[in-house]
Structure 1
Amino acid sequence: MLIDFAYFEENLDMFINEMEKGLAGENSSLKMLPTYISIDDIPEKRDSVIVIDAGGTNLRIALVNFDYSAPSISYFMRYPMLGTKGPITKDEFFSTLAEYLVPLTGKSKKIGFCFSFPADIVPNRDGRVIYLSKEVKIDGIENSLLGEPLKNSLAEKGFDIENIVILNDTVASLLGAKAVYGSRVFDSYTGFILGTGTNSCYIENNFNILKSEYLKNKPGNCIINIESAGYAKAPRTPVDDSFDSLTEKPGEQLFEKMISGAYQGGLLLEFIRAAVANGCFSKSFEEKLAAVSSLESKEIDDFCYYPYGDNKLAHLSKDNEKDLVSLYELVDAFFERAAVLSVVNLAAILKKTGTGKNPCRPVCISAEGSTFYKCKLLNEKINYYMIEFVRRRLGMYCEFVKAENSTLYGTALAGLLD
């Protein structure tokens, strides 16, 4: 199934409209959060930076060095994310985190802190926690700042820190590409996450950030965290709505539920059930499907690589070639839509900013996430539509890069800021 350009362009304009409303502080499904980080403010002279990367599973501590501007890691430790092995208090969180940093005393006075949970970034680049994922339990941390109390905990241990910069993983990915590919000439940079969840960020001119009194009259630019998972204007089907009603938070993160890995299996299973209800498959297929209660993204990939193999979806259509072809075509169409929506997100950034018009200066898209890189049909379709619609039809050029240690290096780059 090929999606026509008119459909793409219509959705592209809707996405840009939501971006503009979010920047103006109007009602929008895109939060368009300023990070107060300008890529132009990163100093040429780069010292060592302490890096904290707090994710849903792991907590990583590193010392990143910028020798001759190229980043390297001279210290690295990995711990279970605090609050994943049982509830802890906010004070315990900061005290334990400070203890983990003690071995780096005297190595640097700057910290970059990648916090992969929703946080409201304030002009001094501290961050106020909005909420945590259900797997992480830190009592009392919601609505708390991150940098200031950590700085205080470190001071109690005799650790003098000048500055702590808070950012999220998508922004760190963008900056990671800048750190690793700094010798390349790019028109701009974009961060794109498509894994368990999805998000994107980009560089916006300050005068377009109308909702920020601090930024709108300040020369320069700022990285904007789009929070694209919440985009709510993508065309939806009754199957999308029925699946959404089964999720933990109906009505939220609608875009993420249409394209990301965490929801892939459940949503595709609902589409297969709907196709069966409409008589698209044999009675035998219908009977086998009744025994399937769940579907994982890996099981979809197993089928895409081995439609005649020993896997859950292949078994549904075993010995029935018509069912097999129909199922593959359904899966193909499912990923076609996800690919086009992903490209809409990325093309909206290029079109809104007017970047990527020179093939010698493409926009660098720092892409992260297992769904983007490992999902067979999705990856090839994203690349197809980026060429067909973005390059050939819109005349905009970009390049996907996978920067080594992008989160650690990007967080370190942010930590260099005063």
Structure 2
Amino acid sequence: LELQKITAAFVKELKLSAKGEKTSLPFVVHEFSPVPLVADGELFQVLKIGGSIGQNALVVKHGKEIEIKAMEEERLPLFSTGKAFLSYIKSHLRKNVKYVTVNFAHELKPVFENNRLDGIPMRPSKEHAFTGLVGKQLGVSIEKFIYEKFHRQIFVSVANDTICLTLSGLTRYPAASVCGGIVGTGMNFAFFLDERRLVNLESACFDKFNQSPEGETIDKKSLHSGEALFEKEVSGAYLYQHYNLTTGGKLTSTHELDKVARGEISGDKQIARDLFKRAAQLLACQVAGIARFKKRPMVFVMEGSLFWVGYNFRKTVAETVKLLSPDFPVAFKAIKDCGIVGAAKLLG
């Protein structure tokens, strides 16, 4: 699998991207406020807008810690229009809050103004069209909508899920050693460049490796052919498709592939296990590459069921990283309610 070579190529792309050169990595740099925007003890609200699940929390900051006072979770409606999305926010807004942060699990172009991070949805997402909001600043749009409806001034900060996951690490670890990683249906990493800036790599797009024949077939048939090639080799949305192409199987999810690997349902156990192993080894190239680029031991705050419960996945990633980055050890951690805690850290 030429893991050393792929890792070296990933490090090279990181170095070039950091100099501002164009690579396969979008390398999207985000700034956030050097001073906390909310006071210690002040109550504020966090909304997490996922693909299908929404979370709504009231939180309080105590120094570096974030305390969740109340949290609700529900299935989201389909946001076919921006108006539908803004109405949803309006109906979930608490009466007594001045500051709101939104963890928005869709592609955003970051904008830093008035000392806070905002974002622009660049295209409709897999689930939601957001018609009328695409190309507009999300936080500003929410602030205006609420002001027009209630003559009430709120302040909104917005970031995507990978950025929020990474920020959650600040409750426990220094910025320089934190990286956030999502390895589930999709995959991505983000880490701090310095105390005030972090980068969302959009590392699903990394393409300096040889695709598998199955990966090539999957890519040709996919909606966005030629994009996110690395993700098509390693993530949950695609792994079971590799199995079907290899064996002529009829699996419908990577969760089922996991059951085949464990011998819980019938199928080719060895091929299933090999697929998890290969995906984990490839993923380890990015993890090791980040540690080598940062030249320090790193803590990866991870989210995603493929990483945490996929067949031997985390173990294989950890073992492979040891070989690929012997000088800079890596630890993997989970942070409870990271999506809420991390979004809260947008305000300090």
Q: With structure 2 as the length reference, what TM-score do the two structures score?
A: 0.90
How far apart in 2 are the matches of 1:128 and 1:56? 17
Unaligned runs of 5+ in 1: 206-219, 273-288, 314-326, 357-362
Per-residue CA deviations over 1:81-126 (Å, capped at 9, x if unaligned) read: 3435xx3x3233213312210xx2223x222211111110012221
- In the TM superposition, residue 44 of structure 1 has moved relative to its aligned partner by 10
State whether structure 2 residue 218 is matched by structure 1 residue 225.
no
State whether structure 2 residue 232 is matched by structure 1 residue 263.
no
Aligned to 2:259: 302
CA contact (8 A) 2:37 2:347 kept: no
CA contact (8 A) 1:22 1:32 kept: yes
- In the TM superposition, residue 69 of structure 1 has moved relative to its aligned partner by 4.4
Aligned to 1:105: 95
Which residue among 153, 157, 162 is the counterpart of 1:160? 153
AA aligned opposite 1:367: M
How far apart in 2 are the matches of 1:138 and 1:222? 28
SS in 2 for 1:152: helix
- In the TM superposition, residue 414 of structure 1 has moved relative to its aligned partner by 0.7
- In the TM superposition, residue 271 of structure 1 has moved relative to its aligned partner by 2.6
Aligned to 2:338: 406
How far apart in 1 are the matches of 2:160 and 2:204? 14
CA contact (8 A) 2:82 2:132 kept: yes
CA contact (8 A) 1:105 1:159 kept: no
With 246-255 and 20-29 compared, the bigger mean Cα shift is at 20-29
Per-residue CA deviations over 1:137-188 (Å, capped at 9, x if unaligned) read: 3222211110111011222324322x32211111111111222x25xx6851
* Larger proportion of strand: 2
- The 1:148/1:260 distance shift into structure 2, 3 A limit, reads same
How far apart in 2 are the matches of 1:267 and 1:227? 22
How far apart in 2 are the matches of 1:123 and 1:225? 15
SS in 1 for 2:296: coil
AA aligned opposite 1:380: K
- In the TM superposition, residue 259 of structure 1 has moved relative to its aligned partner by 0.5
CA contact (8 A) 1:265 1:294 kept: yes
How far apart in 2 are the matches of 1:9 and 1:147? 42
How far apart in 2 are the matches of 1:382 and 1:178? 23
AA aligned opposite 2:190: C
SS in 2 for 1:138: coil
State whether structure 2 residue 324 is matched by structure 1 residue 389.
yes
Which residue among 131, 135, 138 is the counterpart of 1:143? 135
Q: With structure 1 as the length reference, what TM-score do the two structures score?
A: 0.76
State whether structure 2 residue 179 is matched by structure 1 residue 194.
no
- The 1:15/1:41 distance shift into structure 2, 3 A limit, reads farther
CA contact (8 A) 1:18 1:28 kept: yes
SS in 1 for 2:230: helix
CA contact (8 A) 1:56 1:116 kept: yes
How far apart in 1 are the matches of 2:36 and 2:239? 38
Aligned to 2:88: 96
- In the TM superposition, residue 18 of structure 1 has moved relative to its aligned partner by 2.0
How far apart in 1 are the matches of 2:283 and 2:32? 25
AA aligned opposite 2:287: L
CA contact (8 A) 1:197 1:260 kept: yes
CA contact (8 A) 1:154 1:160 kept: yes
SS in 2 for 1:366: strand
CA contact (8 A) 1:71 1:409 kept: yes
- The 1:44/1:55 distance shift into structure 2, 3 A limit, reads closer
State whether structure 2 residue 169 is matched by structure 1 residue 169.
no
AA aligned opposite 1:32: F
- In the TM superposition, residue 329 of structure 1 has moved relative to its aligned partner by 3.5
How far apart in 2 are the matches of 1:42 and 1:374? 36
State whether structure 2 residue 345 is matched by structure 1 residue 352.
no
AA aligned opposite 1:236: Q
- In the TM superposition, residue 334 of structure 1 has moved relative to its aligned partner by 2.0
AA aligned opposite 1:336: K
Aligned to 1:117: 106
How far apart in 2 are the matches of 1:339 and 1:229? 14
With 334-343 and 400-409 compared, the bigger mean Cα shift is at 334-343
Aligned to 1:339: 280
Aligned length: 343
Aligned to 2:123: 131
Please say which structure displays the higher CA radius of gyration.
1
Instruction: Give the alignment's Cα RMSD to 1 decimal.
Output: 2.3
- The 1:50/1:91 distance shift into structure 2, 3 A limit, reads same
Which residue among 261, 284, 307 is the counterpart of 1:372? 307
- In the TM superposition, residue 36 of structure 1 has moved relative to its aligned partner by 0.9
Aligned to 1:203: 192
Aligned to 2:59: 64
